[in-house]
Structure 1
Amino acid sequence: MSTGPLTSSKANMPRSRAKPAIGNEPASKKRKIEHSSSSQRISQTQSRPSFTTVLERLKEETDGKRAAEGGADQWARPATPKLNENKDRIIFQQIDVEDNYEGNVPSLRMFGVTENGNSVLAHVRDFLPYFYIPQPRGFQREDIEPFQDHLNSLISSSSVKKIEIVNRRSLWGYRGESQNPFLKLTISEPRSLPKVRGLFERGECAFRGFFSTAVGEPYPTFESNIAYTLRFMIDTRVVGMNWIEVPAGKYELVSPEKKKSLCQIEIKLRWDAFISHSPDGEWSKIAPLRILSFDIECAGQPGRFPTANEDPVIQIANMVTRQGETQPFIRNVFTLNSCSQIVGSQVLSFDDEQHLLEKWKDFVQEVDPDVVIGYNIANFDFPYLIDRASELGVSKFPYLGRLKGVQTKVKDTHFSSKAYGQRDSKETPLDGRLQLDLLQFMQREHKLRSYTLNSVCAHFLGEQKEDVHHSVITELQNGTPESRRRLAVYCLKDAYLPQRLLDKLMCFVNYTEMARVTGVPFNYLLARGQSIKVLSQLFRKANEEGYVIPALKGEGSDDQYEGATVIEPEKGYYDVPIATLDFSSLYPSIMMAHNLCYTTLLDKDTIARLELVKDIDYIQTPNNDLFATSSKRKGLLPTILEDLIAARKRAKADLKKETDPFKRAVLDGRQLALKISANSVYGFTGATIGKLPCLAISSSVTSYGRQMIERTRTEVESEYSIANGHSHNAKVIYGDTDSVMVRFGPTELDNVMALGAEAAEFVTSKFVKPIKLEFEKVYYPYLLISKKRYAGLYWTKTEKYDKMDSKGIETVRRDNCRLVSTVIETCLKKMLIDRDVQGAQEYVKQTISDLLQNKVDMSQLVITKALAKTEYAGKQAHDELAKRMKKRDAGSAPALGDRVAYVIIKGMKGAAAYENAEDPLYVLENNIPIDTRYYLDNQLSKPLMRIFEPILGEKANSLLTGEHTRTIQIATPTVGGLMKFAVKTVTCLGCKTALRANNSLNKNGAVCKNCRPRMGELYQKQVASASELQIRFSRLWTQCQRCQGSLHQDVLCTSKDCPIFYMRKKSQKDVEDANAVLERFSGDSW
Structure 2
Amino acid sequence: MTESKGFILTRHWRDAPAGTEIEFWLATEAGPRKVVIAAQTSVAFVAARHRAAVAAQLAAFPRMQLRPLALRTFHQEPVIGVYATHFRQLGKLARVLQPLNIALLEADVRPHDRYLMERFITAGVHIEAGRTEGASIVDCRLKPASDYRPVLKLVSLDIETSQHQDLYSIALDGTAERVVFMLGEPPPEAGDAQDFALIYCATRKAMIEQLNAWFERNDPDVILGWNVIQFDLRVLQKTADDCGVKLLLGRDRQPIQWRTHPGKPDYLFAPTPGRLVIDGIDALKAAVWSFPSFSLENVSQTLLGEGKAIGDAYDKMAEIERRYQQDKPALAVYNIRDCELVLRIFEKAKLLQFVLERAQTTGLQADHFGGSIAAFSHHYLPRMHRQGYVAPNVGEIETKAFPGGYVMDSKPGFYDSVLVLDYKGLYPSIIRTFLVDPVGLAEGMHLADAGTGVSGPQQTLFSRDKHCLPEIVTTLSKARDEAKRVKNEPLSQALKLLMNSFAGVLGATECRFFNPKLVSAVTLRGHEMMKLTRTFVEGKGYEAIYGDTDSIFIWLKRAHTNDEAHAVAAELVRDINAWWTRTLREEQGLENFLEIEFDTHYKKFFMPTIRGSDIGSKKRYAGLSLDASGKEEMVYRGLEMARSDWTPLARQFQEGLLTRIFHDEPHREFVTAYARATLAGEKDDLLIYRKRLRHRLDAYEVNVPPQVRAARIADLHNAAVGRPHQYQNGGWIEYVMTRSGPEPLEARQSGIDYEHYLFKQLQPIADAILFPFGESFTALTTSQQDLF
**TM-score, normalising length: structure 1:** 0.66
Q: Distance in 1 between matches of 2:431 and 2:392?
A: 21
* Shift in alpha-carbon separation, 1:464–1:876, aligned structure 2, 3 A: same
The answer (yes or no) to whether the contact 1:712–1:763 under 8 Å persists in 2 is yes
Higher relative contact order (CA 8 A, sep 6+): 1
Q: Does 1:788 align with 2:619?
A: yes
Q: Does 1:275 align with 2:142?
A: yes
Q: Distance in 1 between matches of 2:229 and 2:746?
A: 27
Q: Does 1:253 align with 2:133?
A: yes
* 1:1064-1075 matches, cutoff 5 A: none
Unpaired runs of at least 5, structure 1 = 1-84, 204-217, 255-264, 322-328, 417-422, 656-666, 721-728, 908-915, 968-1086
Deviations 1:241-267 (A, max 9, x none): x134133xx22414xxxxxxxxxx123
Amino acid at match of 1:904: M
- Residue 58 of structure 2, aligned match among 134, 152, 165: 152
* Shift in alpha-carbon separation, 1:532–1:604, aligned structure 2, 3 A: closer
The answer (yes or no) to whether the contact 1:443–1:451 under 8 Å persists in 2 is no
Match of 1:99 in 2: 13
Q: Does 1:680 align with 2:501?
A: yes
Match of 1:653 in 2: 485
Deviations 1:779-825 (A, max 9, x none): 1011122322111122231x323522121111211211222222212
Match of 1:828 in 2: 658
The answer (yes or no) to whether the contact 1:239–1:519 under 8 Å persists in 2 is yes
Q: Secondary structure at the match of 1:944?
A: helix
- Residue 447 of structure 1, aligned match among 264, 285, 290: 290
Q: Secondary structure at the match of 1:601?
A: helix
Match of 2:35 in 1: 122
Deviation at 1:415, TM superposition (A): 5.5
The answer (yes or no) to whether the contact 2:767–2:775 under 8 Å persists in 1 is no
The answer (yes or no) to whether the contact 2:445–2:460 under 8 Å persists in 1 is no
Deviation at 1:317, TM superposition (A): 1.6
Match of 1:72 in 2: none
Amino acid at match of 1:537: H
Q: Secondary structure at the match of 1:166?
A: strand
Q: Distance in 2 between matches of 1:905 and 1:605?
A: 64
- Residue 164 of structure 2, aligned match among 306, 312, 317: 306
Match of 2:587 in 1: none
- Residue 409 of structure 2, aligned match among 568, 581, 591: 568
The answer (yes or no) to whether the contact 1:135–1:182 under 8 Å persists in 2 is yes
Deviations 1:515-550 (A, max 9, x none): 11111222322xx44222222211132234333111
- Residue 730 of structure 1, aligned match among 527, 542, 558: 542
Q: Does 1:186 align with 2:83?
A: yes
Deviations 1:1025-1047 (A, max 9, x none): xxxxxxxxxxxxxxxxxxxxxxx
Deviations 1:994-1044 (A, max 9, x none): xxxxxxxxxxxxxxxxxxxxxxxxxxxxxxxxxxxxxxxxxxxxxxxxxxx
Amino acid at match of 2:300: C
Q: Secondary structure at the match of 2:763?
A: helix
Q: Does 1:606 align with 2:446?
A: yes
- Residue 111 of structure 1, aligned match among 25, 28, 34: 25
Q: Distance in 1 between matches of 2:398 and 2:649?
A: 41
The answer (yes or no) to whether the contact 2:300–2:341 under 8 Å persists in 1 is yes
Match of 2:598 in 1: 775
Q: Secondary structure at the match of 1:279?
A: coil
The answer (yes or no) to whether the contact 2:603–2:623 under 8 Å persists in 1 is yes
* 1:492-891 matches, cutoff 5 A: 492-525=336-369, 528-553=370-395, 557=399, 559-574=400-415, 576-601=416-441, 606=446, 610-613=448-451, 617-621=452-456, 623-630=457-464, 633-655=465-487, 667-718=488-539, 720=540, 729-746=541-558, 747-767=560-580, 768=584, 769-785=592-608, 786-797=617-628, 799-832=629-662, 834-836=663-665, 838=666, 840-858=667-685, 860-867=687-694, 871=699, 874-882=703-711, 885=714, 888=718, 891=724
Deviation at 1:289, TM superposition (A): 1.7
Amino acid at match of 2:472: I
Deviation at 1:493, TM superposition (A): 0.6
* 1:208-287 matches, cutoff 5 A: 218-240=101-123, 242-247=124-129, 250-254=130-134, 265-269=135-139, 273-280=140-147, 283=148, 285-286=149-150
Q: Distance in 1 between matches of 2:711 and 2:81?
A: 54
Amino acid at match of 1:131: A
Amino acid at match of 1:199: V
Q: Distance in 2 between matches of 1:104 and 1:904?
A: 68
Q: Secondary structure at the match of 1:122?
A: strand
Deviations 1:299-334 (A, max 9, x none): x3xxxx223xxx3x222221024xxxxxxx332222
Deviation at 1:433, TM superposition (A): 1.3
Match of 1:401 in 2: 250
Deviations 1:485-510 (A, max 9, x none): 22221111111111111111111211
Match of 1:942 in 2: 764
Q: Distance in 1 between matches of 2:785 and 2:395?
A: 62
Q: Does 1:929 align with 2:776?
A: no
Q: Distance in 2 between matches of 1:467 and 1:895?
A: 24
Deviation at 1:424, TM superposition (A): 4.4
The answer (yes or no) to whether the contact 1:94–1:244 under 8 Å persists in 2 is no
Deviation at 1:412, TM superposition (A): 4.4
Amino acid at match of 1:401: G
The answer (yes or no) to whether the contact 1:164–1:185 under 8 Å persists in 2 is yes
Amino acid at match of 2:440: T
Larger radius of gyration: 1
Give percent identity, aligned residues only.
Answer: 21
Q: Distance in 1 between matches of 2:396 and 2:372?
A: 15
Match of 1:470 in 2: 317
Q: Distance in 1 between matches of 2:266 and 2:765?
A: 34
Unpaired runs of at least 5, structure 2 = 585-591, 609-616
* Shift in alpha-carbon separation, 1:565–1:407, aligned structure 2, 3 A: closer
Deviation at 1:602, TM superposition (A): 6.1
Deviations 1:85-133 (A, max 9, x none): 5xx44543221111124556311211122214x2221222111211111
Deviation at 1:149, TM superposition (A): 5.5
* 1:952-971 matches, cutoff 5 A: 952-959=773-780, 961-963=782-784, 966=787
Amino acid at match of 2:731: D
Q: Distance in 1 between matches of 2:203 and 2:49?
A: 70
Q: Secondary structure at the match of 2:249?
A: coil
Amino acid at match of 1:692: F
Q: Distance in 2 between matches of 1:647 and 1:818?
A: 42
Match of 2:46 in 1: 133
Q: Distance in 1 between matches of 2:711 and 2:115?
A: 45
Q: Distance in 1 between matches of 2:121 and 2:219?
A: 24
Q: Secondary structure at the match of 2:121?
A: coil
* Shift in alpha-carbon separation, 1:865–1:647, aligned structure 2, 3 A: same
The answer (yes or no) to whether the contact 2:8–2:365 under 8 Å persists in 1 is no
The answer (yes or no) to whether the contact 1:108–1:124 under 8 Å persists in 2 is yes
Match of 2:218 in 1: 367
Amino acid at match of 2:467: G
- Residue 389 of structure 1, aligned match among 224, 237, 240: 240
The answer (yes or no) to whether the contact 1:793–1:803 under 8 Å persists in 2 is yes
- Residue 157 of structure 2, aligned match among 294, 311, 316: 294
Deviation at 1:758, TM superposition (A): 0.9
Q: Distance in 1 between matches of 2:10 and 2:257?
A: 18
Q: Distance in 2 between matches of 1:245 and 1:964?
A: 82
Q: Secondary structure at the match of 1:563?
A: coil
Q: Distance in 2 between matches of 1:434 and 1:796?
A: 42
Q: Distance in 1 between matches of 2:409 and 2:779?
A: 28
Amino acid at match of 1:641: V
**TM-score, normalising length: structure 2:** 0.89
Match of 2:744 in 1: 919
Deviation at 1:635, TM superposition (A): 2.6
Match of 1:319 in 2: 173
Deviations 1:912-954 (A, max 9, x none): xxxx33322222xxx432323222232332222222323x234
The answer (yes or no) to whether the contact 1:251–1:267 under 8 Å persists in 2 is yes
The answer (yes or no) to whether the contact 2:58–2:64 under 8 Å persists in 1 is no
Amino acid at match of 1:865: R
